[in-house]
Amino acid sequence: MIDTSTDTGTDRTLEVPGARLHYEVRGQGPLVVLCGAPMDAAAFAPLAGLLAADHTVLTTDPRGINRSRLDDPGQDSTPQLRADDLSRLITHLDAGPAVVLGSSGGAVSALALAEARPEQVHTVVAHEPPLTEMLEDRDQLRAGTEDLIATYLAGDVMGAWKKFFAQANIALPEPVMEQMFGGERDPQQVADERRWFAHEMRATTHWQPDIAALGSATVRVVVGIGNDSAGQLCDRISRALASALGIEPTTFPGGHTGFVEEPDAFATRLREVLRES
């Protein structure tokens, strides 16, 4: 087992088929994995630091994002590939079975991991997974996703983001949109954004969980929803997923990225949820 007692999240790399994964480890104790897609390890750093007081906390850049480099930059990022990456990281640390908190596309990765390698996971907290195939209006949502991807790849970045937030039922004022996606932008952020639109969004939103497999596994599945996400697309999806699994959704502070907005409150709530297991 890797000694992480003095680790503060220093850079590490693991070679996996087709990629070199950047990952960080903090703390010591039972393993908690925090994962996003396309969100990278840096977004989880405040939450990871809080949980590291009594846990070993693993964060990673998903393949093709930021510091996790691909042999083939044109490779699509699927939930199955990302789940395999998480499995290899857990095996490398020799620290499972783990609690895996996945947010957005990372929640899809976490569910895929629970299906493929249930012995490595004892609890999955799937926070607002964008599983549009769970909804009755899936055909309309699928068409909308194809349209916004095409808009982005045609060069209309602002137009694509406006379509994205409209479909997600998230209202952002025009000045905020301009601040986030207009003018000069960080080149790495732009590269990660383009990869998400071109190679990740479609496979992530089209993935369908095996409800029977998740229901029969020994893994505890928690479906998380942000308190501020009411009425948004991922709120609808999360409620549909929880209903299919026969469980009640669990609320967390903040919105879709509540762990970024309110890491202290989010950590407190996560600890409460884990104590219930």
pLDDT at res. 212:
94
> Distance from CA of residue 88 to its chain's centroid?
17
Taking the CA atoms of residue 92, residue 210, residue 257 and residue 84 in that order, the dihedral angle to the nearest 10 degrees is 20
- DSSP-assigned beta bridge partners for residue 103: 127
Could you count the other beta carbons within 10 Å of the beta carbon of residue 78?
Answer: 20
Please give the DSSP secondary-structure letter assigned to residue 277: -
pLDDT at res. 177:
87
pLDDT at res. 103:
97
Token duo for residue 235: 């709120």
pLDDT at res. 2:
42
Q: How far apart are CA 202 and CA 218, in angstroms?
A: 29
pLDDT at res. 277:
67
Could you count the other beta carbons within 10 Å of the beta carbon of residue 159?
Answer: 13
pLDDT at res. 6:
36
Q: Are 266 and 252 in contact (CB under 8 A)?
A: yes
Q: How far apart are CA 168 and CA 132, in angstroms?
A: 10
> Distance from CA of residue 23 to its chain's centroid?
15
Q: What is the mean pLDDT of each run of 10 residues along the chain (277 residues)?
A: 44 93 96 97 97 96 97 97 98 94 98 96 98 97 98 96 96 87 91 97 97 90 97 97 97 95 97 90
Q: How far apart are CA 131 and CA 127, in angstroms?
A: 11
The full set of domains in the chain, from first to last, is: 12-135+207-275 (3.40.50.1820), 138-202 (no CATH)
pLDDT at res. 217:
76
Q: Is the dihedral of CA 171, 176, 181, 185 positive or negative?
A: negative
Question: Nearest-5° angle of CA 225, CA 242, CA 220?
Answer: 95
Closest CA to 272 of 249, 242, 251: 251
pLDDT at res. 271:
97
Token duo for residue 174: 């025009």
